[in-house]
Structure 1
Amino acid sequence: MTDLANARLPKADLLPGASWHGHIDLVAVDLVLAGRRPPSVLDDDHLLYAIVNRPGTVRGKAQILGVAERTVSTYAARGEDGPGRDGGGPP
């Protein structure tokens, strides 16, 4: 994966209408998760952000994002209490 620093930022209290979190385009992530854009428009950092910081089931995220369920469950578990949640580097 690419630099994961911004994808692993702690969940921020975003202002209503915020469209960016670090270098993560929240609108693009939400459009993919809503099925309105193909997952190919997201790079690895955006995929990781969608897995860790957006609601949804493991199976649902895996199908929408085009990744394995094991990948989603692994990164979702790491994202909740794993290293890097303070904006540091990857585990």
Structure 2
Amino acid sequence: MAAGRAWRRPCAEAMAGSGVWLRARARLRRFPAALAACGDQAAAYGRCVALAAGGAAELRRDSCLREFQALRECFARAAKATPT
């Protein structure tokens, strides 16, 4: 471990007042439903990444940008539509 202070988790009392953990858990509970609504876009992005990373060529940034943006937009719509 590096010299100096070790990382410590914030105490629950310090975080409880703002409801951070409740909001984070609520978002995580909605995640599977939102992801399931975007299966086609996720599959297209996965295929693109697999094709771009295969072979001798290395994966380049933005090589699957169009597919990623479609997945991101679908996920944002699904997350907004999913009840809390």
Give yes or no for TM over 0.5. no
TM-score (norm 2): 0.24
Structure ID, larger Rg: 2
Q: Which structure shows the higher strand fraction?
A: 1
TM-score (norm 1): 0.23
Q: Which structure shows the higher helix fraction?
A: 2
